[in-house]
């Protein structure tokens, strides 16, 4: 999610300028009144193989339009719909991925019915159409807390005002059943394989920090089996850093037969207050398997449960800290990866994070890359 142990500071703005070395930027943090706060310098990777995000236009108010965090995108009835953290799961739509993206409302009409101090500010939506129903999984929590829940809202139309909040699906606390006592129930991702409009397999993944990424197999009606947690699957874990900064799982079943597990790794937020050490900022990693339950190996054959994961997108040029990713297949059969990122020409504050997207291609060995 992308908000673990990171306080968000909305009061400061940041201005970025390109220095003599194209991959190095001097950042001047200024208060709202323009008072100098700090000067710092950091270097981002000069990687020409990583493309810039495709351009987008649209509404520029926070939490919708072109400014999103933890986006989810799908297409329905000729429109692309995006969903974002904050704004009660803000909804925007556009006729093309380039935009213009128009804010049209929210999934929830008020605080979630989940009993959690974070219920007024849901995070990390994950929206899918299964059969004739749209399912929106969302997260409620508080910063740095494991007392978290994944909620579910459903709709027949996607439109604001049409959603029914069903409350919690999973809840993590230190006293919960394993692995919910050792994980953080946020950043949900539903992966469904349908054949002839019938669900053949369905999995619900979650996780942020703690013991990272877990998942359970669902019933064909997307309900939770009674023994789901007893048979929970450990998908990814990074023990190489003491904070275990892996979160935001997204499991994509590609046409080549592989299941690809995308995760975000690193510090997601609050860059205007404190920049992480170089390489510790958000980035997107991937592993793959022929089985939706894994193991998911990276290009070097390392299991993602053992710290594996091949980096496919990270900081470069004017892009900093990309993550919160998801993937969908467009009507023309092309896979699209979407994410949020900081545009270093604009600002480091979370409210200015932008919607990024690129086409996702596969090399001769079936490894994904962005174009």
Of 70, 121, 298, 303, which is the active-site residue? 70
Q: Identify the bridge partners of residue 154 per DSSP, sorted by sequence position.
A: 135, 164
Distance (Å, rounded) from C-alpha 327 to C-alpha 190? 12
Task: For residue 70, indicate whether it is catalytic.
Answer: yes
Residues 6+ apart with CB under 8 A from 33: none
H runs (alpha helix) in the chain: none
Q: Identify the bridge partners of residue 355 per DSSP, sorted by sequence position.
A: 340
Omega prior to 355 cis, within 30 of 0: no
Of 247, 303, 335, 350, which is the active-site residue? 247
Distance (Å, rounded) from C-alpha 324 to C-alpha 318? 18
Distance (Å, rounded) from C-alpha 368 to C-alpha 146? 33
Distance (Å, rounded) from C-alpha 84 to C-alpha 70? 6
CB atoms within 10 A of CB 38: 14
Task: For residue 227, indicate whether it is catalytic.
Answer: no
Distance (Å, rounded) from C-alpha 121 to C-alpha 340? 18
Residues catalogued as catalytic = 70, 247
């Amino acid at each position: 999610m992308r908000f673990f142990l990171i306080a968000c500071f909305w009061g400061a703005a940041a201005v970025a300028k390109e220095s003599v070395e194209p991959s190095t930027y001097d950042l001047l943090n200024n208060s709202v009144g323009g008072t100098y706060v700090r000067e710092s310098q950091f270097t981002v990777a000069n990687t020409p193989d990583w493309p810039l995000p495709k351009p987008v236009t649209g509404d520029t108010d926070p939490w919708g339009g072109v400014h999103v965090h933890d986006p989810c995108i799908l297409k329905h009835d000729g429109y692309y719909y995006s969903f974002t953290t904050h704004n009660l799961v803000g909804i925007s739509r556009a006729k093309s991925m380039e935009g213009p993206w128009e804010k049209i409302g929210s999934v929830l009409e008020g605080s979630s019915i989940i009993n959690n101090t974070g219920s007024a500010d849901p995070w990390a939506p994950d929206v899918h159409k299964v059969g004739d129903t749209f399912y929106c999984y969302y997260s409620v929590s508080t910063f740095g807390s494991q007392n978290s829940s994944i909620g579910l809202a459903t709709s027949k139309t996607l439109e604001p005002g049409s959603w029914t909040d069903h409350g919690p699906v999973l809840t993590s606390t230190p006293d919960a059943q394993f692995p919910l006592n050792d994980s953080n129930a946020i950043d949900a991702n539903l992966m469904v394989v349908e054949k002839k409009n019938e669900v053949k397999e369905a999995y619900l993944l979650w996780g942020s920090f703690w013991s990272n990424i877990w998942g359970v197999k669902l019933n064909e009606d997307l309900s939770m089996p009674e023994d789901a947690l007893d048979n929970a699957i450990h998908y990814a874990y990074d023990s190489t850093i003491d904070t275990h900064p892996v979160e935001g799982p997204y499991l994509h079943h590609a046409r080549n037969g592989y299941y690809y597990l995308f995760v975000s790794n690193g510090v997601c937020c609050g860059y205007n207050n404190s920049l992480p050490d170089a390489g510790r900022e958000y980035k997107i990693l991937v592993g793959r398997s022929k089985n939706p339950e894994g193991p998911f190996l990276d290009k070097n054959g390392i299991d993602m449960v053992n710290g594996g994961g091949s980096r496919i997108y990270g900081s470069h040029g004017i892009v900093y800290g990309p993550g919160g990713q998801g993937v969908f297949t467009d009507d023309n059969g092309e896979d699209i990866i979407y994410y949020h990122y900081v545009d270093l020409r604009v600002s480091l504050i979370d409210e200015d994070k932008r919607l990024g997207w690129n086409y996702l291609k596969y090399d001769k060995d079936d490894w994904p890359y962005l174009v």
